[in-house]
Structure formats: structure tokens, C-alpha cells
Structure 1
Amino acid sequence: MIKVLIVDDDKLVRKGISSAMPWSEFNMEVVGEASNGAKALDFLKSQPVDLMLTDLAMPVMSGIELMRAARQLYPKLHIVVLTLHQDFDYIQEALRLGAIDYIAKVQLEKEQFEHVLHRIHTRIDGLTNINPRMPSQNEINVHYQNVYALVSQDHKSDQKWPLELTSQGEEIRWEVERNSWMWAAPQYGEEQLFHQLKESLDQVPQSTLLVLSDVQQRTWSQIKDWIMNYTETSLFYAYNPHEQVIAVSMNEEYTFSKEPQDEDIDRIKKSWFQTPWAHHDSYYNQLIEQFKSLQLRKGQLMGLLYSIVMEWNHLFARTTLGKISMIHSFESWYEVEEWIKQTAAGIRKSDEKTAYSQEIIDAVKKAVMIMQHDMEQAYTASGLSQQLNISRSYFSQCFKDLMGKTFNEYSRFIRVEKSKEYLLNTNNTIFWIAERVGYTDEKYFSRIFRELTGHLPSEYRQLGR
């Protein structure tokens, strides 16, 4: 049973989520509630919790601060973010801290309860290693020439070994972990074992046969740990349904690279938004190589993809440039790359619907990203059109047709949207927020905010909380 803790400063939200969602259908049980991060940490100390749902904007200790503390104290704890609005910077930070999913409260309707819990349960299931079952002699040194490991990348269901092998003499088969097995046979029976395992690949979904060399003088326990580590690192990126047999040496170390640097993440996001990768193979291949070179863990990769999709849809979902559908789960880089290919096709299809050239579409996208990423600057249509080498009048016309708003309307819109995030997720002053979104006059900022939202910034903050 997965034990769940709900953390939110709104009692009605806590009670609603606790009572309305079909937890038991997904082997989950709500064991506690907390109104802020500090109380949540106290609860975590008192009893075990497997999954924590936490709001981001809370008094005493914010959800981000809670996540940082919980990650250090309880590294195996799964975390899902609850958010009132799709406040992208904070969700991205939460995903980079290890959150496995997020739930936007405004979109949480009764018919979505089951879908949300199924998605969360699937992700927990894919990230949780079942305790391996190993024989008592697992510390005995191996005397075989090679060890064979059949690993399935399909973690959505329990795979049962589908084939009874025709044994020749002494043969060993052990289950390494769920959906993963290893075999060994004496030299005279090894060729037959290899061919039978190779033939069985079609019966096990998303499977790879690893042929491990340099196994002598290692214990079965060491080999098992090596297989699990390789599966979590290199095999995630090496899996290919068209090349299902991989020879590996146990003398090689397969580990993840260091934590990705912010500049590496920014470079990928810039390539995604500001280069025509969906239209040109050279840019596409460059983007793929940038992704793969980071060698991100599955959770980190999911967080990066989520942040890209959310930001894209935040910017372009309601424009002629179209919406991107998120990949909800993946078990290998092969699946991620297939999703990127499909996304590229979707972007091309949306771009083809417009009357403008690809160069103009890319220029408008670049202008939008420049405005989004540096709101303290007072960008003008004249200044950006000059920077992009387009006439001001033509740039203004293209911008309105593609984005659905004039340049000035869009500029005010994104600044007010960003200020909403600051109001709900920080305790900073209105003047501080106004400056961060490009307004040096607090009164003018408040007037613009009220024109677009119907409330003063202080009223909006109070209502949101």
C-alpha cells in the first residue's frame, strides 16, 4: 500500500483531495495532512510516507523549501506538486528537484481523478525497484565464461519468463529484479543457451539481451548490481528494438554524468524555441545530440521535457503555432526520440497552416522568447524588429496574425501573467514585483494589472491565497 501525505495550506483543498479521489483503486492510502512545509516535515519524522502531494505557495515553509529538505532527509520519497496556476518557473524548479508529476488544481475535475492517480501510480511503479530475489550463494565467485541478462524496458506490467529453456548440464537462472533475469551455462551448453535466449526476445516486450564478459572472479551479487546499474544508466539510452543484443564488458563503468549545469539546460531550451529544428535535419540532429550528451536520469529528463512543453504551450497553445502534447511516460531514450519526431511533425503541420514564411515564423518565436526571458527590459516592436532585421510595420502585422494579440497587448499580457506567479508564490512587495516585470512605476503597474484582471495586485494576492 502506497502511503500518501497531502500538504496544502487550504483545508478545503486537503479534505477535497483526500476524500474525492479513488485512492484505494490504485493501492494508495492517505495517512496524513499538513497545512505547511514545517508540519509536513514533522509528520514525515513520525511515520513512513511513500508519496507526498504538496502545494507550492504556503506560509511558514514553501513547497519548494519543503521539497529541498525532504529530498535530503527522505531520498526515496515520491513527490507530486499541487499548483493553483500553471506557474511555470516554480513547476520547473519542482521537477528539477525530483517531483515526478504536477497537478493543476484548476483542471482537477471529477472525471480526471482516475486518470491523474493512474498516471502517478504508473510513474511510481516505474521508479521503484522491487527487492531482488537472489539465491543464498550470491557471494560465490562466478566460474562461467559469460553471463546473459535479458532485460525488459517495459515497467508498466510484470513480465513472466515466457520460455522453458532446453538445458544442457549445469545451468543457472536468477531473477535480478522485476522484468530482468540473468543466466549462465557451462561452455559446452553456452551456444545453445544464447540462441534460445535470442529467439525469446520477441516474446518479451521492449527487451534487450546483454552478453556480459569479464565475469570471472566476481560474485553473483556484484554481477546483479552491475546489471541493475547498467540498466538504469547506459541501457536507457542504448536500447533499440532493431538491435536487441548488446555485448558489454564488466570492466567498463557505466554511470550517469554529473548534475546538469543551468547553462546546458538553457542551451537545449534555446535550441528548442529559437532554432528551426523541426524543419531542418542539421538543427534536429544537433538538438538530439545536446539532449543525449547530458545523459540525464529518467526523472530529470522528464522534468526537462515537462518544462519545455509547458513553456511552449504557455506561449503558443492559443496561437496559430499550435499546442504540443506531452509524452506521459517513457522507458527508454528511443521512445523519447520517437516523441520528438512526432512533435516536429506536428510543429511543421501547424507552421504550414500560416501564410508566412518559415523565416518570419521563427523570427516571431524568437521575439516572444526574448520578451519572456528578460521582462525587466522595456522591449518595443521597433527595437525588436530592427534586431530581427524586419520592417516595423511588417513585424507588427506578422506578430498580431501569429500570436493573436498586438505586440503591446502581448507585452502587457505576459508581464501581468508573470506578476501573478510572483504574487501567489512569493511574499515580495508589489514594487519589487513591478520592477521584475518591467514597470518602474508601481501605480502604473497596478493600473495595468487591474485593467487586465479586474483586481489590484494586493487584492489578487489575497484572493489567491
Structure 2
Amino acid sequence: MISTLIVDDEKLVRKGLISTMPWEKFHIQIVGEANNGQAALDYMHKSKVDLLFADLTMPVMSGFELIEAVRADFPETLIVVLTCHQDFDYIQKAMRLGAIDYIVKTQLEQESMDEVLSRIALRVSYEQSLRISSAAASGSLSATTGKGGEESRKEKEWPALKEQWLSLQWIHNDALFDKLCNYAFHSKEDPISQGIIASLEHCPVVFNDEELRCDLERLFALQSWPAVVRLLSKIRTNLRNNIERLPYFRDIVINVVHVLRYIHQTEDFMMNRDDLAARFGMSRGYFSQCFKNIVGKSYGEYLKELQIRKAKTLIRQTDFPIYWIAEKSGYKDEKYFSKLFRSRVGMNPMEYRKLCKGSESEL
């Protein structure tokens, strides 16, 4: 169960949330309530809390102050803010401080409760799975490099280790970075540098300079593990600086990077924005805003670019009919696909195929 604390200075709001929300359906257990931020912190020093629902405007200690204190003292506790304000700047301030979601109390109706809790429970599950895999992989790491059986054991442990690099949590987690760096080994078939590039290459706002790319590509050429660690430290500093320039809490930025990696891995070009937001535990509106600011374009525009890129590849490399290519690129309507393709490429799919075939015959 996800242990949860409700914090709001209005008793009726607290009691209303506790009694009307379908908590148990989503494995959420209300373990307590508090009427201000300080009382919430006092409770948390005595009892474990996985999830916090906190009002932003409270006496003694505001919700903003509470978020900062929880992030400092209880970094594994996730926070959802309760507000009567629809002002996005007001909400975004809470998100920058580290809240994972928000609920506008005046808009919380019975039919939306399931959607809200489902989204939040997914995000909690996602964060907890990252921590569990991190702890499991870190616990298996060795600080020494041997030969023979030792090397074979490390080869077997490489997939778990690789996932830790791909999680990108090491960018801001000093303890995890130190543990990973103490494990003096990386697979020749699947180097750390390639894994990190694979995670970052689709997010230019984070992975945005040639020096960073060159440093990552240099990693595999280094023969000395201490030299690898020194270069990784430099890479880590640059990545951290890039992330901290964005007006979002670092976990949100890394979450969007994981979204991009997922899109490119699955190549599910019919993926609904709302389903994707829910999969990564983000509200629809906030996901759209974060995606556009971090990636540089809206999700819809980004998906269209991927669909057209996929279609161009299939047209060049196969002789399959256009209706089949349209479907594989995420479009069930061939006419709409052809119209969109022309608007993006400057010619229809058949014209593009003829152009590609003509270019090949001249080689």
C-alpha cells in the first residue's frame, strides 16, 4: 500500500478527500492528516509517508515551504499539491520545487477521481520501481576487477548495471554515481557511452552541445577506468548544468527524456498523448506543457515528424504499397496520410518513391 498523508488547513476539505476518493482501489492508504506544513513534517519524522497531498496556502508553513522541506529531508516522498488556483504560473512554481502533480479542488468531481488517482498511483509505482532497481543493481556491484570467473560474473551483471546508467538518476544522485563508478567494468559489446547517448540523443535541450557528445564518444576509447571516471564526472557536470537551466524540477526533465526514449524504442506511432502521459505518471495538461518546453515542440508535432520520417524510410527501403506504409507509420487513412506527406515533403509518396529509385539508378 502507498502510505499517504493529507495536509490542508480546512478540516472539511481533509475529511471530504479522505471519505470520497476511492483510495483503496489504487492501493493508497491514508495514514494521517495535518492542518499545516509544520504538523505534516512532525508527523513524517515519526512515521513513513510515501505520498503527500498538500494545500499550497496554509498558516504556519505554506505548501511551497513544505515542498522544499520534504525534498530536503524526505527525498523519496512524492508530493501532489492541492490548490484552488487555476493559474498555471502558480502551479508551475510548485512543480519546479518538486511536486509531481496537482489537483484543483474546485474542479474535482466524482467522475474524475478515478483518473486522478490512477495517474498518481502510476507515477508512484514508476518512481518506486526506479528506486528498487537502483538498490538491487547497486547492491550487486563490486569495487574490484578480477579475471576469469570474476569477469564472467560481471558480464552477467552488466544488464542491471546498464539500466542504472540509462535511468540517468546518477546525474543528480551522488551516492549512486559513486557506486557505479566504483564498479570498474563496462561491456565492450555495449559501452556505457552508447547507452547514455541512446538515452539522451532525442532531447536536444539536454544533449545540446558538441563537446558533450565528443566526451561521451571518447569514453570507450579510454583504457584506464580512473580516466573513464574522470571524464564521466565532467559529463555529469555538463548534463546537470543543462538540466538545471530548464524551468522544471530535474525529475520532470529526466522523466520527459525517458518518454522520448520509450517513443523511439517502441515506434508506436499511434500512441495517444494522454495514454503516454498516464504511463509516465503525469497529468495531461502538465505533460503537454513540459514536453513542449523541454523538447522544443508539441507532442503532436513531434509525433508527426517521426511518422513522416518512418514513412520516408519505408518508401525508400521497401516496395510495399502506400496504404501499408501509411498504416505502419500510424495512419489508417491513406488519403489523409498522402496529403500530410505532401505538405511535409513537397511531393506525394509515389513521387518520393520514384525520386529515390531514380537517385539509386544514377549511382
TM-score normalized with structure 2 length: 0.51
Letter in 2 for 1:328: A
Find the residue that maps to 1:111 and give its secondary structure. helix
Q: Which residue of 1 aligns with 2:316?
A: none
State the Cα distance separating 1:178 from its structure 2 match. Answer: 10
Q: Aligned residue pairs: how many?
A: 236
Q: Is the 8 A contact 1:38 1:61 kept in 2?
A: yes
Which blocks of at least 5 consecutive residues in structure 1 are unaligned?
A: 148-168, 183-205, 208-217, 241-245, 267-293, 304-323, 347-465
Whole-Å separation in 2 of the counterparts to 1:48 and 1:113? 25
SS in 2 for 1:125: helix
Which residues of 2 match residues 438-449 of structure 1 at below 5 A? none
Q: Which has more strand, going by share of residues?
A: 1
Match of residue 315 from structure 2: none
Q: What is the CA distance between 1:77 and its match in structure 2?
A: 1.5
Change (3 A) 1:123 1:181: closer
What's the offset of the Cα at 1:177? Answer: 4.9
Structure (1 or 2) with the greater helix fraction:
2
Corresponding position of 1:113: 113
Q: What residue in structure 2 maps to residue 173 of structure 1?
A: 156
Give 1:115 deviation, angstroms. Answer: 1.2
Structure 2 counterpart SS, 1:258: helix
Contact 1:134 1:175 survives alignment (8 Å): no
Which residue of structure 1 aligns with residue 277 of structure 2?
A: 328
Which among 286, 294, 298 is matched to residue 340 of structure 1? Answer: 298
Distance 1:12 1:344 in 2: 44
Identity across the alignment (%)? 34
Residue 258 (1) aligns with residue 262 (2): no
1:222 partnered with 2:226: no
Cα distance change on mapping 1:6 and 1:179 into 2, 3 Å: farther
Give the distance between the partners of 1:114 and 1:178, measured in 2 at CA.
36
Measured after TM superposition, the shift of residue 6 of structure 1 is: 0.7
Match of 2:142 among 138, 141, 162: 138
2:93 match: secondary structure: helix
Give 1:258 deviation, angstroms. 2.9
Give SS of 2:40's match: helix
Deviations 1:259-315 (A, max 9, x none): 867xx558xxxxxxxxxxxxxxxxxxxxxxxxxxx9x73424679xxxxxxxxxxxx
Q: 2:56–2:81: 8 Å Cα contact kept in structure 1?
A: yes
State whether residues 54 and 80 of structure 1, in contact with CA within 8 Å, keep that contact through their aligned partners in structure 2.
yes
How far 1:34 sits from its partner (Å)?
0.5
**Equivalent position of 2:250 in the other structure:** 297
- 1:328, CA displacement in angstroms? 2.0
- Does residue 32 of the first structure (1) align with residue 32 of the second (2)? yes
SS for the counterpart of 1:54 is strand
Q: Tell me, in whole angstroms, the C-alpha distance in 1 between the residues paired with 2:153 and 2:61.
A: 60
Separation (CA, whole Å) in 2 of partners of 1:231 and 1:50: 34
Q: How far has the Cα of 1:54 moved from its partner?
A: 0.4
Question: Unpaired runs of 5+ in structure 2?
Answer: 168-178, 204-215, 257-272, 281-289, 305-363
Q: Give the 3 Å change call, closer, same or farther, for CA 64–113 of structure 1 in structure 2.
A: same
Contact 1:96/1:300, CA 8 A, preserved across alignment: no
Q: How far 1:37 sits from its partner (Å)?
A: 0.9
Deviation of 1:125 (Å)? 2.5
Instruction: Report the Cα offset of residue 114 of structure 1.
Output: 1.7
In 2: Cα distance, 1:5 partner to 1:299 partner: 22
Matches within 5 A, 1:355-434: none
SS of residue paired to 1:49: coil
- Contact 2:291/2:298 (8 A) holds in 1: no
Tell me the distance in 1 between the aligned counterparts of 2:194 and 2:53: 29
**Structure 1 position 105, deviation (Å):** 1.2
Return the offset for 1:89.
2.4
**Is the contact between residue 36 and residue 59 of structure 2 (CA under 8 Å) also seen in structure 1?**
yes
In structure 2, the CA distance between the partners of 1:257 and 1:180, relative to structure 1 (3 Å rule), is closer
Summarize deviations over 1:139-196 as a string: whole Å, max 9, x none. 441548xx9xxxxxxxxxxxxxxxxxxxxx98942376599499xxxxxxxxxxxxxx
Relative distance call for 1:58 and 1:220 in structure 2 (3 A) is closer
On the 8 A contact 2:158/2:186 being kept in 1, the answer is no
What's the offset of the Cα at 1:53?
0.7
Q: 1:237 to 1:11 in 2, by over 3 A?
A: same
Residue of structure 1 in register with 2:328 after alignment: none
Alpha-carbon RMSD across the aligned residues, in angstroms, is: 5.0
Based on CA coordinates, which of the two structures has the bigger radius of gyration?
A: 1
Contact 1:78 1:124 in 2 (8 A): yes
Answer yes or no: is the 8 Å Cα contact 1:141–1:220 preserved in 2. no
